[in-house]
Amino acid sequence: MPVGLIRYSPINLGRWLVWGGFALALVIAPLVFSSGSSLSLLSLMGTMMIFSLSYNMLLGQSGMLSFGHAVYSGLGAFFAIHAINLSSSGTLQVPLTLVPLVGGVAGLLFGALFGYVTTQRSGTAFSMISLGIVELVFACSLMFPGFFGGEGGVSGDRVFGRPFFGISFGPQIQVYYLIAFWLFVSAVAMFALAHTPLGRIANAVRDNPERAEFVGYDPQRVRFLMLMLSAFFAGISGGLAAINFEIVSAENVSAARSGAVLLFAFIGGTGIFFGPMLGAIVGVLLTVMLPEFTKAWLLYRDFFHHDGHVRTGRHGQPDRDEPAPGIQGTDAACAACHAAAGRACGHRSDRVRDADRDDVSAVARRGTWHFLEFVRMERRCYVDACLADRDLYAACRRRIFSATTWRVSGCLGGCAGRA
């Protein structure tokens, strides 16, 4: 009698309910929270959820505590934004819906490259090497402005080609559904992966590498495979972030970003598959909401730099000209920046002169891209101002290079005080 003719495969009702509920929640969420700011918040959450889930493939499933996971999502984001730019100029034909895949493949390739080095070791040494890799990539990103766009980053325009059934991906709601689609697909894929033999062996390697080795599996190889796959999903989240914000800067590959995803995944719980998703929701809410309640908002905002805002007002499109939650952050930083720069230097760029006419909050409302540009312009005059004081200049340069807004503003303040 052939084996396996009769199979007992009951329908896993609970699983269908959970995933059906998840899909339903994704569809309904923007109908319930329909204001512009909650839409951008939901989109941000979606990208962070994929990112946290991919991170948990390392920490939760394979026991690898990585301090440099943003490398893969960030590089994926850079490749995605370049794909967008090439597609809008007509050199490349990638529909926007598949741009996250570009990010994913980039993540996979860099996962193969860096993962080969990092997964040579496990435990604490792995963590330290992953930190080294993220610092390496971050430093490199400022070294090749052609690809990484220097401190200002690379910006793009996600609306290209002819609208397909009225879908142009201009309005935030369409981008939300794109993110939700990729979130669902990625989550299902990662869940399925956790139940493949590879996923199970990864658990074994996490719990007891020696025994896994005795059974005949090479732990290093298992870690390498898991890291590559995790980097793939991180790249997808990076691609979605690039679509969502239309700007990718060096901050996307920084250790700060890696730390944020580690915190999110850990807060949500690494033992349960859905834990990191919850962590991403809570984490994003905290990073965006807390600034409104406490003066120490920069403390929380440091994780996100500009992710709290949407880039708004491009060609005056009204549907996207909406200040995102947490805009006060840029506001304050901008004000500090502005005030300091006003004292520190005489010459101004056009954009800054523009800013002069409006009040500072208007600059903030114009969004991240302008803000970064603003900082970049300011940096020039401020370098002039600081040249007199070499030590201070060196310190400031370091800080500007690390490019988080508060550091820049703090630095400008310090410089204006001394110059």
Partner 1 sequence: MEFTLISLLNGLSYGLLLFMLSSGLTLIFSMMGVLNFAHASFYMLGAYFGYAISQQFGFWPALIIAPLLTGLAGALIERFGLRAVHKHGHVSELLFTFGLSYVIAELVQLVWGRAAVPYKIPSELDGPLFSLFTMAFPAYRGFMMLVAVLMVVAIWLLLTRTRIGLVIQAALTHPETVEALGHNVPRVFMLVFGGGCALAGLAGVIGGNAFVTEPAMAATVGSIIFVVVVVGGMGSLGGAFLASLLIGMVQTFAVALDWSLLGPLARVGIAPSPELPVYRLLSLTLSEVAPILPYLLLVLVLIFRPRGLMGKRES
Residues that bind partner 1 (CB under 8 A): 63, 65, 67, 117, 120-125, 127-129, 131-133, 135-136, 139-140, 143-144, 146, 255, 259, 262-263, 266, 296, 298-299, 391-392, 394-395, 398-399, 402, 406-407, 410-411, 413-414
Which residue number, 262 or 360, has a Cβ lying nearer to partner 1? 262
Question: Min. distance of Cβ 418 from partner 1 in angstroms?
Answer: 9
Which residue number, 15 or 211, has a Cβ lying nearer to partner 1? 211
The DSSP code for 316 is: G
Question: Quick count: other Cβ atoms within 10 Å of Cβ 144?
Answer: 10
Which residue number, 308 or 367, has a Cβ lying nearer to partner 1? 308
Question: What SS3 string covers the chain?
Answer: CCCCCCCCCCCCHHHHHHHHHHHHHHHHHHHHCCCHHHHHHHHHHHHHHHHHHHHHHHHHHHCCCCCCCHHHHHHHHHHHHHHHHHHHHCCCCCCHHHHHHHHHHHHHHHHHHHHHHHCCCCHHHHHHHHHHHHHHHHHHHHHCHHHHCCCCCEECCCCCCCCECCECCCCHHHHHHHHHHHHHHHHHHHHHHHCCHHHHHHHHHHHCHHHHHHHCCCHHHHHHHHHHHHHHHHHHHHHHHHHHHCEECHHHHCHHHHHHHHHHHHHHCCCCCCHHHHHHHHHHHHHHHHHHHCCCHHHHHCCCCCCCCCCCCHHHCHHHCCCCCCHHHHHHHHHHHHHHHHHHCCCCCHHHHHHHHCCHHHHHHCCHHHHHHHHHHHHHHHHHHHCCCHHHHHHHHHHHHHCCHHHHHHHHHHHHHHC
Question: Min. distance of Cβ 174 from partner 1 in angstroms?
Answer: 36
**What single letter denotes the amino acid at residue 61?**
Q
Distance, CA of 84 to CA of 268 (rounded, Å): 33
Question: Min. distance of Cβ 382 from partner 1 in angstroms?
Answer: 14
Which residue number, 51 or 300, has a Cβ lying nearer to partner 1? 300
**145 token code pair:** 């402005």
Question: Min. distance of Cβ 44 from partner 1 in angstroms?
Answer: 21
Which residue number, 144 or 164, has a Cβ lying nearer to partner 1? 144
Which residue number, 239 or 268, has a Cβ lying nearer to partner 1? 268
Give yes or no for a contact between 151 and 403, defined as CB atoms under 8 angstroms apart. Answer: yes
Which residue number, 311 or 407, has a Cβ lying nearer to partner 1? 407
Which residue number, 277 or 298, has a Cβ lying nearer to partner 1? 298
Helix axis angle for 36-56 and 13-32, nearest 10°, is: 150
Which residue number, 131 or 286, has a Cβ lying nearer to partner 1? 131
Which residue number, 257 or 311, has a Cβ lying nearer to partner 1? 257
Question: Min. distance of Cβ 69 from partner 1 in angstroms?
Answer: 13
**347 token code pair:** 């010459």
Residue 213: alpha-carbon gap to chain centroid: 35
Residue 353 vs residues 237, 339, 349: alpha-carbon distances, Å: 37, 13, 6
Which residue number, 12 or 120, has a Cβ lying nearer to partner 1? 120
